[in-house]
Amino acid sequence: MILITGGHGQLGTELRHLLDEKNIEYVSTDADQLDITDKEGTYKFITEMKPEIIYHCAAYTAVDKAEDEGKELDEKINVDGTRNVAEAAKAAGSTLVYISTDYVFDGNNKDGMYKVDAATNPLNEYGRTKLLGEKAVQEIMDDYYIIRTSWVFGIYGHNFIYTMQKLAETHDHLTVVNDQFGRPTWTRTLAEFMTFVIAEKAPFGVYHLSNENSCSWYEFAKEILKDTAVEVAPVTSAEYPQKATRPQYSVMDLSKAKVLGFEIPTWQEALASFLELEAKQ
Ligand SMILES: NC(=O)c1ccc[n+]([C@@H]2O[C@H](COP(=O)([O-])OP(=O)(O)OC[C@H]3O[C@@H](n4cnc5c(N)ncnc54)[C@H](OP(=O)(O)O)[C@@H]3O)[C@@H](O)[C@H]2O)c1
Protein backbone atom coordinates (compact mmCIF):
# COMPACT_ATOMS: atom_id res chain seq x y z
CA MET A 1 0.00 0.00 0.00
CA ILE A 2 1.01 3.58 -0.62
CA LEU A 3 0.42 6.39 1.88
CA ILE A 4 0.34 10.08 0.96
CA THR A 5 0.70 12.76 3.64
CA GLY A 6 -0.56 16.24 2.75
CA GLY A 7 -2.71 14.59 0.09
CA HIS A 8 -4.92 17.65 -0.41
CA GLY A 9 -2.09 20.09 -0.99
CA GLN A 10 -0.90 21.30 -4.37
CA LEU A 11 1.54 18.43 -4.96
CA GLY A 12 -0.44 15.77 -3.06
CA THR A 13 -3.47 16.37 -5.27
CA GLU A 14 -1.41 16.10 -8.46
CA LEU A 15 0.11 12.87 -7.20
CA ARG A 16 -3.33 11.42 -6.42
CA HIS A 17 -4.49 12.17 -9.95
CA LEU A 18 -1.37 10.57 -11.41
CA LEU A 19 -1.75 7.42 -9.29
CA ASP A 20 -5.44 7.24 -10.29
CA GLU A 21 -4.40 7.38 -13.97
CA LYS A 22 -1.91 4.59 -13.37
CA ASN A 23 -4.50 2.52 -11.45
CA ILE A 24 -2.22 2.43 -8.43
CA GLU A 25 -4.00 2.20 -5.08
CA TYR A 26 -3.13 4.54 -2.24
CA VAL A 27 -4.40 6.02 0.98
CA SER A 28 -4.32 9.81 0.99
CA THR A 29 -4.37 11.74 4.26
CA ASP A 30 -4.44 15.33 5.36
CA ALA A 31 -4.04 16.83 8.82
CA ASP A 32 -7.51 15.79 9.96
CA GLN A 33 -6.83 12.08 9.28
CA LEU A 34 -3.10 12.09 10.00
CA ASP A 35 -1.67 15.10 11.80
CA ILE A 36 2.07 14.57 11.46
CA THR A 37 2.77 16.76 14.49
CA ASP A 38 1.02 14.14 16.65
CA LYS A 39 3.93 11.81 17.37
CA GLU A 40 1.98 8.89 18.88
CA GLY A 41 -0.89 9.18 16.40
CA THR A 42 1.51 9.22 13.45
CA TYR A 43 3.43 6.21 14.79
CA LYS A 44 0.24 4.25 15.36
CA PHE A 45 -1.26 5.12 11.97
CA ILE A 46 1.84 4.22 10.00
CA THR A 47 2.96 1.14 11.92
CA GLU A 48 -0.56 -0.32 11.76
CA MET A 49 -0.86 0.40 8.05
CA LYS A 50 2.71 -0.65 7.18
CA PRO A 51 2.74 1.14 3.82
CA GLU A 52 5.44 0.04 1.40
CA ILE A 53 5.87 3.63 0.25
CA ILE A 54 5.15 6.95 1.92
CA TYR A 55 4.98 10.05 -0.26
CA HIS A 56 5.50 12.73 2.36
CA CYS A 57 3.94 15.86 0.78
CA ALA A 58 2.71 17.48 4.03
CA ALA A 59 4.60 20.61 4.95
CA TYR A 60 4.37 24.14 6.25
CA THR A 61 4.85 26.18 3.06
CA ALA A 62 4.13 29.82 4.00
CA VAL A 63 7.69 31.08 3.43
CA ASP A 64 7.18 34.66 4.69
CA LYS A 65 4.92 33.79 7.63
CA ALA A 66 7.55 31.29 8.79
CA GLU A 67 9.75 34.27 9.65
CA ASP A 68 7.50 35.41 12.50
CA GLU A 69 3.91 34.44 13.31
CA GLY A 70 4.25 31.02 11.67
CA LYS A 71 7.72 30.27 13.03
CA GLU A 72 6.64 27.82 15.71
CA LEU A 73 4.24 25.96 13.45
CA ASP A 74 6.84 25.79 10.66
CA GLU A 75 9.28 24.08 13.05
CA LYS A 76 6.57 21.78 14.40
CA ILE A 77 5.40 20.59 10.99
CA ASN A 78 8.58 20.61 8.91
CA VAL A 79 11.03 19.37 11.54
CA ASP A 80 9.12 17.50 14.27
CA GLY A 81 6.42 16.30 11.85
CA THR A 82 8.94 14.98 9.37
CA ARG A 83 10.89 13.28 12.17
CA ASN A 84 7.63 11.65 13.36
CA VAL A 85 6.91 10.37 9.85
CA ALA A 86 10.49 9.10 9.40
CA GLU A 87 10.55 7.27 12.74
CA ALA A 88 7.23 5.58 12.02
CA ALA A 89 8.31 4.80 8.44
CA LYS A 90 11.49 3.15 9.73
CA ALA A 91 9.50 1.02 12.22
CA ALA A 92 6.99 0.05 9.51
CA GLY A 93 9.71 -0.84 6.97
CA SER A 94 8.44 1.80 4.51
CA THR A 95 10.37 3.63 1.80
CA LEU A 96 10.02 7.37 2.36
CA VAL A 97 9.85 10.00 -0.37
CA TYR A 98 10.43 13.42 1.22
CA ILE A 99 10.07 16.63 -0.77
CA SER A 100 12.54 19.39 0.03
CA THR A 101 13.43 22.74 -1.47
CA ASP A 102 16.05 24.82 -3.27
CA TYR A 103 15.78 27.21 -0.31
CA VAL A 104 18.23 24.95 1.56
CA PHE A 105 20.85 26.80 -0.54
CA ASP A 106 22.01 30.38 -0.06
CA GLY A 107 22.17 31.23 -3.76
CA ASN A 108 25.78 32.39 -3.62
CA ASN A 109 27.23 29.39 -5.45
CA LYS A 110 30.11 30.72 -7.49
CA ASP A 111 30.49 27.43 -9.39
CA GLY A 112 27.10 27.55 -11.10
CA MET A 113 24.25 25.13 -10.58
CA TYR A 114 23.77 23.38 -7.25
CA LYS A 115 24.69 19.69 -7.32
CA VAL A 116 22.93 17.31 -4.90
CA ASP A 117 25.97 17.28 -2.60
CA ALA A 118 26.59 21.05 -2.67
CA ALA A 119 26.93 22.78 0.70
CA THR A 120 23.62 23.91 2.17
CA ASN A 121 23.13 27.22 3.94
CA PRO A 122 19.49 28.31 4.14
CA LEU A 123 18.75 32.02 4.28
CA ASN A 124 15.26 31.79 5.71
CA GLU A 125 13.30 29.88 8.37
CA TYR A 126 11.40 27.74 5.86
CA GLY A 127 14.66 26.62 4.23
CA ARG A 128 16.19 25.96 7.64
CA THR A 129 13.31 23.74 8.78
CA LYS A 130 13.10 21.87 5.46
CA LEU A 131 16.83 21.16 5.76
CA LEU A 132 16.38 19.90 9.34
CA GLY A 133 13.63 17.67 7.92
CA GLU A 134 16.16 16.30 5.41
CA LYS A 135 18.65 15.66 8.20
CA ALA A 136 16.05 13.83 10.29
CA VAL A 137 15.20 11.58 7.33
CA GLN A 138 18.89 10.84 6.70
CA GLU A 139 19.63 10.12 10.37
CA ILE A 140 16.67 7.84 10.90
CA MET A 141 16.25 6.03 7.60
CA ASP A 142 18.19 4.12 4.95
CA ASP A 143 15.40 3.65 2.40
CA TYR A 144 14.61 7.21 1.43
CA TYR A 145 14.45 9.59 -1.49
CA ILE A 146 14.90 13.27 -0.70
CA ILE A 147 13.73 15.21 -3.74
CA ARG A 148 14.53 18.92 -3.71
CA THR A 149 12.33 21.00 -5.94
CA SER A 150 11.71 24.71 -6.60
CA TRP A 151 9.15 27.32 -7.66
CA VAL A 152 6.32 24.79 -7.74
CA PHE A 153 3.15 25.38 -9.77
CA GLY A 154 0.18 23.12 -10.34
CA ILE A 155 -3.46 23.25 -11.28
CA TYR A 156 -4.51 22.31 -7.73
CA GLY A 157 -2.92 24.94 -5.52
CA HIS A 158 -1.92 28.48 -4.74
CA ASN A 159 1.09 29.48 -6.77
CA PHE A 160 2.88 32.26 -8.64
CA ILE A 161 0.98 31.68 -11.90
CA TYR A 162 -2.41 32.14 -10.26
CA THR A 163 -1.11 35.20 -8.38
CA MET A 164 0.07 36.82 -11.63
CA GLN A 165 -3.15 35.98 -13.45
CA LYS A 166 -5.24 37.41 -10.61
CA LEU A 167 -3.20 40.62 -10.51
CA ALA A 168 -3.51 40.92 -14.29
CA GLU A 169 -7.30 41.13 -13.93
CA THR A 170 -7.01 44.44 -12.07
CA HIS A 171 -3.67 45.94 -13.19
CA ASP A 172 -2.30 47.17 -16.55
CA HIS A 173 1.24 47.26 -15.21
CA LEU A 174 3.03 44.83 -12.91
CA THR A 175 6.55 44.85 -11.46
CA VAL A 176 8.33 41.58 -10.76
CA VAL A 177 11.79 40.84 -9.34
CA ASN A 178 14.47 40.22 -11.91
CA ASP A 179 17.44 39.36 -9.69
CA GLN A 180 16.34 35.97 -8.28
CA PHE A 181 16.96 33.05 -10.60
CA GLY A 182 15.65 29.50 -10.29
CA ARG A 183 13.82 26.73 -12.06
CA PRO A 184 10.00 26.59 -12.11
CA THR A 185 8.55 23.13 -11.51
CA TRP A 186 5.21 21.77 -12.69
CA THR A 187 3.68 19.45 -10.08
CA ARG A 188 2.97 16.99 -12.90
CA THR A 189 6.69 16.62 -13.73
CA LEU A 190 7.53 16.27 -10.05
CA ALA A 191 4.79 13.71 -9.35
CA GLU A 192 5.96 11.69 -12.36
CA PHE A 193 9.49 11.68 -11.00
CA MET A 194 8.26 10.61 -7.55
CA THR A 195 6.56 7.56 -9.07
CA PHE A 196 9.51 7.00 -11.46
CA VAL A 197 12.12 6.55 -8.69
CA ILE A 198 9.89 3.95 -7.04
CA ALA A 199 9.04 2.10 -10.26
CA GLU A 200 12.67 2.06 -11.41
CA LYS A 201 14.03 1.21 -7.95
CA ALA A 202 16.44 4.12 -8.29
CA PRO A 203 19.29 4.21 -5.77
CA PHE A 204 18.22 5.83 -2.49
CA GLY A 205 19.49 9.32 -1.70
CA VAL A 206 19.11 12.97 -2.59
CA TYR A 207 17.84 14.14 -5.99
CA HIS A 208 17.06 17.50 -7.55
CA LEU A 209 13.98 17.76 -9.70
CA SER A 210 12.51 20.78 -11.41
CA ASN A 211 11.81 21.65 -15.01
CA GLU A 212 14.68 22.31 -17.42
CA ASN A 213 15.95 25.84 -18.13
CA SER A 214 16.10 28.62 -15.59
CA CYS A 215 14.70 32.14 -15.36
CA SER A 216 14.05 35.06 -13.06
CA TRP A 217 10.60 35.63 -11.56
CA TYR A 218 10.28 38.53 -14.02
CA GLU A 219 10.99 36.26 -17.00
CA PHE A 220 8.55 33.69 -15.63
CA ALA A 221 5.84 36.37 -15.23
CA LYS A 222 6.46 37.68 -18.78
CA GLU A 223 5.88 34.20 -20.17
CA ILE A 224 2.78 33.63 -18.02
CA LEU A 225 1.20 36.89 -19.21
CA LYS A 226 2.52 36.92 -22.78
CA ASP A 227 -0.97 36.68 -24.30
CA THR A 228 -2.35 39.56 -22.25
CA ALA A 229 -2.01 43.34 -22.62
CA VAL A 230 -0.45 43.67 -19.17
CA GLU A 231 2.95 45.31 -19.12
CA VAL A 232 5.47 43.53 -16.88
CA ALA A 233 8.47 45.53 -15.69
CA PRO A 234 11.59 44.27 -13.87
CA VAL A 235 12.51 45.42 -10.34
CA THR A 236 15.24 44.43 -7.89
CA SER A 237 14.64 42.46 -4.68
CA ALA A 238 15.59 45.66 -2.81
CA GLU A 239 12.65 47.42 -4.48
CA TYR A 240 10.30 44.56 -3.50
CA PRO A 241 11.18 43.68 0.10
CA GLN A 242 9.78 40.44 1.50
CA LYS A 243 9.98 39.14 5.05
CA ALA A 244 11.95 36.04 4.09
CA THR A 245 15.21 36.48 2.22
CA ARG A 246 15.30 34.35 -0.93
CA PRO A 247 18.43 32.97 -2.59
CA GLN A 248 19.44 34.98 -5.65
CA TYR A 249 20.55 32.00 -7.72
CA SER A 250 19.10 28.66 -6.66
CA VAL A 251 19.28 26.82 -9.98
CA MET A 252 19.72 23.13 -9.19
CA ASP A 253 21.71 20.66 -11.26
CA LEU A 254 19.32 17.98 -12.57
CA SER A 255 21.91 15.53 -13.91
CA LYS A 256 21.37 12.88 -11.21
CA ALA A 257 17.68 12.61 -12.19
CA LYS A 258 18.48 12.64 -15.92
CA VAL A 259 21.08 9.88 -15.61
CA LEU A 260 18.25 7.61 -14.45
CA GLY A 261 16.61 8.11 -17.85
CA PHE A 262 13.92 10.49 -16.62
CA GLU A 263 12.93 12.97 -19.34
CA ILE A 264 12.44 16.49 -18.03
CA PRO A 265 10.42 19.05 -20.01
CA THR A 266 11.55 22.68 -20.03
CA TRP A 267 9.64 25.06 -17.78
CA GLN A 268 8.34 26.77 -20.94
CA GLU A 269 6.89 23.45 -22.17
CA ALA A 270 5.50 22.66 -18.72
CA LEU A 271 3.92 26.11 -18.45
CA ALA A 272 2.32 25.74 -21.90
CA SER A 273 0.81 22.38 -20.85
CA PHE A 274 -0.40 23.90 -17.58
CA LEU A 275 -2.06 26.85 -19.38
CA GLU A 276 -3.71 24.50 -21.87
CA LEU A 277 -5.08 22.39 -19.02
CA GLU A 278 -6.19 25.49 -17.12
CA ALA A 279 -8.09 26.77 -20.17
CA LYS A 280 -10.06 23.51 -20.29
CA GLN A 281 -11.11 23.72 -16.62
N1 LIG B 1 5.19 25.29 -3.26
C2 LIG B 1 6.47 25.48 -3.60
O3 LIG B 1 6.83 26.41 -4.34
C4 LIG B 1 7.50 24.50 -3.11
C5 LIG B 1 8.86 24.73 -3.44
C6 LIG B 1 9.81 23.81 -3.00
C7 LIG B 1 9.44 22.72 -2.24
N8 LIG B 1 8.12 22.54 -1.92
C9 LIG B 1 7.78 21.36 -1.10
O10 LIG B 1 6.87 20.57 -1.85
C11 LIG B 1 6.00 19.87 -0.95
C12 LIG B 1 4.57 20.06 -1.38
O13 LIG B 1 4.25 21.45 -1.35
P14 LIG B 1 2.86 22.02 -1.85
O15 LIG B 1 3.12 23.15 -2.76
O16 LIG B 1 1.98 20.89 -2.26
O17 LIG B 1 2.32 22.63 -0.44
P18 LIG B 1 0.82 22.85 0.06
O19 LIG B 1 -0.10 23.03 -1.07
O20 LIG B 1 0.93 23.91 1.11
O21 LIG B 1 0.47 21.45 0.75
C22 LIG B 1 0.94 21.07 2.01
C23 LIG B 1 -0.06 20.12 2.63
O24 LIG B 1 0.41 19.74 3.93
C25 LIG B 1 -0.72 19.71 4.78
N26 LIG B 1 -0.35 19.83 6.18
C27 LIG B 1 0.01 20.96 6.84
N28 LIG B 1 0.21 20.66 8.14
C29 LIG B 1 -0.02 19.35 8.29
C30 LIG B 1 0.01 18.46 9.41
N31 LIG B 1 0.32 18.89 10.65
N32 LIG B 1 -0.28 17.16 9.21
C33 LIG B 1 -0.61 16.73 7.98
N34 LIG B 1 -0.70 17.51 6.90
C35 LIG B 1 -0.39 18.81 7.05
C36 LIG B 1 -1.57 20.88 4.32
O37 LIG B 1 -2.87 20.76 4.79
P38 LIG B 1 -3.70 22.12 5.14
O39 LIG B 1 -3.84 22.85 3.84
O40 LIG B 1 -4.96 21.57 5.69
O41 LIG B 1 -2.85 22.87 6.13
C42 LIG B 1 -1.45 20.73 2.81
O43 LIG B 1 -2.43 19.84 2.33
C44 LIG B 1 6.33 20.40 0.45
O45 LIG B 1 7.23 19.52 1.06
C46 LIG B 1 7.03 21.71 0.18
O47 LIG B 1 7.91 22.07 1.22
C48 LIG B 1 7.16 23.40 -2.34
Q: If we measure between CA atoms, which residue out of 72, 50, 51 comes closest to residue 60?
A: 72
Q: If we measure between CA atoms, which residue out of 18, 4, 5, 58 comes closest to residue 190?
A: 18
- Domain membership flag for residue 227: no
Identified catalytic residue from 103, 114, 126, 145: 126
Residue ID of nearest Cα to ligand 1 atom 8: 101
- Domain membership flag for residue 178: no
> Which SS3 state, helix, strand or coil, does residue 263 take?
coil
- Whether ligand 1 lies within 6 angstroms of the CB of 61 is answered as yes
Q: What is the pLDDT of residue 118?
A: 95
Q: How many domains does the chain have?
A: 1
> Which SS3 state, helix, strand or coil, does residue 3 take?
strand
203 lies in which domain range? Answer: 2-159+183-213+249-280
Give the pLDDT mean for 37-48: 98
Res. 241 pLDDT band, cuts 50 70 90? confident
Which residues touch 270 (CB under 8 Å, ≥6 apart)? 184, 185, 186, 188, 189, 211
Distances (CA, A) of 39 to 2, 99, 151: 20, 20, 30
Q: Which of 16, 61, 147, 151 to mutate to test the pocket of ligand 1 (most atoms within 8 A of CB)?
A: 61
- Cα-to-chain-centroid distance, residue 128: 15
Rounded (10°) CA dihedral 72, 78, 83, 84: 80
Residues 154 and 13 sit within 8 Å (Cβ to Cβ): yes
**Which sign does the torsion angle of CA 15, 185, 108, 257 carry?**
positive
Among the atoms of ligand 1, which is closest to the Cα of residue 76? 31
Among the atoms of ligand 1, which is closest to the Cα of residue 37? 31
- Domain membership flag for residue 197: yes
Least-confidence region, from 77-86, 109-118, 130-139, 235-244: 109-118
What gap in Å lies between CA 108 and CA 106, rounded to an integer? 6
- Whether ligand 1 lies within 6 angstroms of the CB of 152 is answered as yes
Distances (CA, A) of 239 to 131, 176, 230, 236, 245: 28, 10, 20, 5, 13
Beta strands in 49-153 (DSSP E): 53-56, 95-101, 144-149, 152-153
Q: Which of 13, 57, 242 to mutate to test the pocket of ligand 1 (most atoms within 8 A of CB)?
A: 57
- Domain membership flag for residue 58: yes
Q: What is the pLDDT of residue 281?
A: 85
What is the β-pairing status of strands 231-235 and 95-101? unpaired
What gap in Å lies between CA 126 and CA 152, rounded to an integer? 15
- Domain membership flag for residue 232: no
Residues 247 and 180 sit within 8 Å (Cβ to Cβ): yes
How many C-beta atoms surround the C-beta of residue 57 within 10 A? 28
126 is catalytic: yes
- Domain membership flag for residue 77: yes
Looking at the DSSP assignment, which residues form a beta bridge with residue 56? 5, 98
- Domain membership flag for residue 218: no
Q: What is the pLDDT of residue 112?
A: 82
Residue ID of nearest Cα to ligand 1 atom 24: 58
Taking 80 as the threshold, does the pLDDT of residue 33 lie above it?
yes
- Whether ligand 1 lies within 6 angstroms of the CB of 10 is answered as yes
- Domain membership flag for residue 13: yes
Cα-to-centroid distance, 230 and ligand 1 (Å): 31
Task: Report the share of the chain in percent with pLDDT over 90.
Answer: 96
CATH of the domain at 135: 3.40.50.720
- Whether ligand 1 lies within 6 angstroms of the CB of 146 is answered as no
88-130 pLDDT, tens per residue? 999 999 999 999 999 999 999 767 899 999 999 999 999 999 9
